[in-house]
Amino acid sequence: MKAAVFSPSPYRGPAPRGTWPVPTTTFDPELAQQSFETSLSNFALADELGFDWVTVAEHHFAPMSLTPNPMIIAGAITQRVKRAKVAVLGPTVPILNPVRVAEEFAMLDNMTGGRVVAGMLRGTSNEYVTYNVNPAESRERFAEAIRLIIKTWTEPEVFGWQGRYYEYRAISIWPKPAQQPHPPIYISGSSPESGDLAAKYRLHIGFAFTTVPFASQAARYYREQCHAQGWEPTPDHVMYRLAVHVADTDEQAINDLVEAGAAARRVAFSTSNKALDDEAANLGYYGRDIETQRARHEGHELQKRIEVGQIMVGSPETVFERVRWIHDELGAGILELNFQNVPGGRTHRSMELFATKVLPRMREL
């Protein structure tokens, strides 16, 4: 079983919450530059520690992710990460030009010596507002774009394309991908339609923002459809993403996350104390009381998320047992890890503990 380190490259400064698109009233270019450097440094550390992949995604109009074009940061990553695979999971294909997507992936594959993993995603519903694309066309656009991208990578002759959503007079991309016939393609496997599409074109599948019980059912359906199409996927054909934090003990790991949540709230509300005061008044608490109530609530919510496999928290031994559970339930060969942002060097410590005490045992599963 392999491990990937995912980061959405968030903005590490105060920002409004509870809306989308998010206004840029608190944006600071210096903080943005520091945010990018932090993400790139974390990816470089992941490579040094021996993680198998580093991964980025595409999101728009919000500080939770500063990568509206993940290909750009992936290009920067190629200059820092020399061993691990570089997985780009998006792009959000239906709102983009699929030929451009194919060209950019091919460039990255050559720049890395054939270490690119190509994620092709439909994106969340709000993403379609970004470039004013009709979300009702999403699934059909996506299926056509996948076929077109595969052909751009594998057809040596100049060809034209006239489909329902895309039309090109002549296509012949340079360079072709370094990997032959093309980089591994991952799509979301959460719906039966996605499982059908992946099975038909021998694609890999991934799961994010879900639960292990749900993903287990979807992965079973995908394997059934692959078998019906005359081929059998390997464990590496299935990827599962979740959050993680590792500390020396279970208690310390949970305390780290509670403290990190309180610190994040202080940053988020640093430009609007009135919002915090109003929330406290509405709940009937003031000062430290509201932090106490939030901590209790978050502790309960954290436990629920642990139980369904949305986050792993604890000592290396506890985290490994959760890894084993996910492996057994889902049959996933790739575990994509979003290490939680905890101040005081504890994020790096978490990565180091995972790499030295969990990852070697994972590889034996």
pLDDT of res. 212 = 97
**Cα 147 to Cα 164: distance, rounded to the nearest angstrom:** 12
**Cα 166 to Cα 292: distance, rounded to the nearest angstrom:** 55
Find where tokens 């979003």 sit.
Answer: 338
pLDDT of res. 91 = 95
Q: What is the pTM of this model?
A: 0.90
pLDDT of res. 277 = 37
pLDDT of res. 279 = 36
pLDDT of res. 281 = 37
Taking only the tens place, the pLDDT of each residue in 97-152 is 999 999 999 999 999 999 999 999 998 888 899 999 999 999 999 999 999 999 99
Per the DSSP assignment, residues forming a β-bridge with 239 are 206, 334
**Cα 134 to Cα 128: distance, rounded to the nearest angstrom:** 7
Per the DSSP assignment, residues forming a β-bridge with 159 are 171
**Cα 275 to Cα 139: distance, rounded to the nearest angstrom:** 40
**Cα 26 to Cα 29: distance, rounded to the nearest angstrom:** 10
pLDDT of res. 296 = 54
Residues of the chain with pLDDT under 50: 268-293
Complete domains list, the chain, with CATH: 2-238+332-348 (3.20.20.30), 239-331+349-365 (no CATH)
Count each helix (H run) and each strand (E run) in the chain, helices first: 13, 11
